[in-house]
């Protein structure tokens, strides 16, 4: 079965866990769960986490970016786009298409924009990845 990585911010930790759980329930493999990281006290720990996240993106068949997303999520999106890995961008509203705040990279080939409910996002992923 295919593997995935989820990029987001700590603000979305519960949504990240919900999406991961539902995709794993459907037989997909989560390459790295960064939500388990806490109490980081050194640059060496950050370096180790960064290496794990890069590796996780690189060995994923697709990534999911949940908005609002932090700066690390955008780096992970760049890694995915640069390596031809499918990316799903998700926002409850249509902020991804807001000309004032969007990024050119949200609109390139290999990026699928999704909005609405998390259930709709998961359904889209399942339809396209199974």
User: Is 30:44 a contact under the CB 8 Å cutoff?
Assistant: no
Which of 29, 114, 33, 104 is CA-nearest to residue 74?
Answer: 104
Residue with tokens 């590796």: 55
Average pLDDT over all residues of the chain: 96
Average pLDDT value for residue range 111-128: 97
pLDDT of residue 94 exceeding 90, the answer is no
Q: What is the CATH number of domain 3-129?
A: 3.40.50.450
Average pLDDT value for residue range 4-30: 97
Confidence class for position 112, pLDDT limits 50, 70, 90: very high
φ and ψ at residue 84, rounded to 5 degrees: 70, 25
What pLDDT score was predicted for residue 89? 98
pLDDT of residue 130 exceeding 90, the answer is no
pLDDT in tens, 24-74: 999 999 999 999 998 889 999 999 999 999 999 999 999 999 999 989 999
What pLDDT score was predicted for residue 50? 96
What pLDDT score was predicted for residue 1? 85
pLDDT of residue 83 exceeding 90, the answer is yes
User: Is 6:16 a contact under the CB 8 Å cutoff?
Assistant: yes
């Amino acid at each position: 079965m295919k593997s995935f990585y989820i990029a987001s911010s700590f603000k979305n930790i519960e949504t990240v866990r919900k999406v991961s759980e539902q995709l794993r329930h459907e037989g997909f493999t989560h390459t790295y769960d960064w939500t388990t990281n806490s109490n980081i006290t050194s640059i060496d720990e950050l370096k180790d986490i960064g290496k794990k996240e890069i590796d996780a993106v690189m060995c994923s068949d697709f990534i999911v970016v949940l908005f609002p997303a932090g700066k690390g999520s955008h780096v992970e999106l760049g890694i995915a786009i640069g390596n031809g890995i499918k990316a799903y961008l998700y926002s409850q509203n249509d902020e991804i298409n807001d000309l004032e705040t969007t990024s050119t990279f949200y609109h390139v080939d290999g990026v699928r924009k999704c909005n609405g409910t998390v259930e709709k996002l998961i359904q889209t992923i399942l339809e396209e990845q199974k």
